[in-house]
Structures are given as structure tokens and as C-alpha cells.
Amino acid sequence: MTDGSKEWMEMKLELIEQQAAAMAKLEPQADFLLKRLKRHHAPTYRQSLLTAHHTLQLAKALGYTDKEQQVLYRTALLHDIGKLHISRDILDNRHRLYDGALLQLQEHPKLGAGILESFIASGEVDGEAVLHHHENLDGTGYPFGLTWKSISLNARILRIASNYTTLTDERTSIGLSHQEALEELYCWSDVLFDAELVELMNHLYREHVQSKREKEDAGYDVSVKRNRNS
């Protein structure tokens, strides 16, 4: 990473873990599942936290209510919980999976919806988003091969957030810079991903960069003034 993406992600992860821990204190069932996921496969747990963060930022920017944000945040934290039923050998395989293993991996949205049945029934988790977070707009996704009109906004948000995390998290993937990841997402806009959400993700990152620069400039001004007054 060369454009601040790594620093952005690492700075946020500690805060994200604190937010997840705060939620978990109030929701022991969710906490139990997240701890199980962390023990089963720490990289998936890490990516779930980062995906939840990016998902929440998108939801806020889209004007979701506090309750809608909370549901989607919880959904994002638990969206990959079905991977509890996938072996670590398959989850750690970064090469081409053989057909049987690939089919097993592609079952994890259904497995996750099963694990989260009580959360979905109570409205605490968006079941469609869990089931459809690997669906593509052109119908090439899984597990159902849905197309644009059949994929909810929440599922499309999760699709963008999880893929952005996968592309940029160097601990569990190839670790592209923000610009490189956006170029990849832009290439597949309105084919795999919702183009408006890709653009919004880029806008949010640029806002972060601008805010950081303004804070650094302010800090520099203060430093210069102190030196002049000393």
C-alpha cells in the first residue's frame, strides 16, 4: 500500500474492535459467535470487523436511521459466520480450489443464514444480505445467481465493503492500495458491483484523506507558532 490505505486500516482496526466489544457486552449471543469465528479462523474474523466498519460508513453516508445502521452493522459483523462450517484448510487456500472445495465454500452464505436464524427472525440481522452478499449484478455470483433487481441495497453494500476489505487487507490478502482497489472495483462496476456504491466508497476515503491533511496542516501551524514564541 502506498497511499495511506494501510495506515487508515490499522488505525481503524483498534477502534473497530472496541466498537464490536461494546456491542458484544449487550449482545452475548453475537459475542459468542464472533469469538467462535475468531478461534476458528482469525483472518475471517479480522475481515468481518473491517467489513462491518466500511459497511457502517456507507450506511451513514446513505442516510440510514440509527436502527437501520445498527442492524446492518450487526449483519456485517456476522455475515461470514457460515465459515464456521468450512474447514480451515479451505479457508486458508489462496490457490484455485478444486470443485468440491469450491462448492463447500460457496455454501457459507446459506450456512450463515441457518446459524443466524433466530437473529433474522427477530429482525436483528438482515437475512437477505447474509444470503446474497456474494451475488453479482450480472447473475454470476452465488449461491443463487441473482441479478440486479433481486439483490437488495444492503446486500450490495456488503458486497462492496467485503470486497474492498479483501483487496486492501494485506494480512489476509494481497494488500492493494486504496487506488488499486478502487480501480479493480471500478472495472467491474454495474457488472459485479453497484457503481454508485463504488463511487461513494471512493468519496468517503477521499474525505478521510482531506480531513487528515487538514489536521496535519493545523498541527504544523501550531508547531510553527510555538517555535516562534519560544
Helix (H) or strand (E) holding 5: helix 5-26
Does 38 participate in catalysis according to the annotation?
no
Q: Which of 119, 120, 116 is nearest to 108 (CA)?
A: 116
Q: Is there a contact between 81 and 118 (Cβ–Cβ < 8 Å)?
A: no
pLDDT of 2 reads 47
pLDDT of 220 reads 54
pLDDT of 17 reads 78
CA distance 142 to 121: 23
Q: For the whole model, what pTM was predicted?
A: 0.86
pLDDT of 140 reads 97
Q: What is the largest CA-CA distance in the chain?
A: 71
Q: Verify cis geometry, omega within 30 degrees of 0, for the bond prior to 28.
A: no
Task: Give residue limits of the domains in the chain.
Answer: 5-229
pLDDT of 212 reads 67
pLDDT of 217 reads 62
CATH architecture of the domain with residue range 5-229: Orthogonal Bundle (1.10)
For residue 192, give the amino acid letter: L
Choose the catalytic residue: 25, 83, 110, 149. 83
pLDDT in tens, the chain (230 residues): 444 555 555 556 777 777 777 777 788 899 999 999 999 999 999 999 999 999 999 999 999 999 999 999 999 999 999 999 999 999 988 677 788 899 999 999 999 999 999 999 999 999 999 999 999 999 999 999 999 999 999 999 999 999 999 998 877 667 788 889 989 999 999 999 999 999 999 998 888 777 767 666 666 555 555 555 55
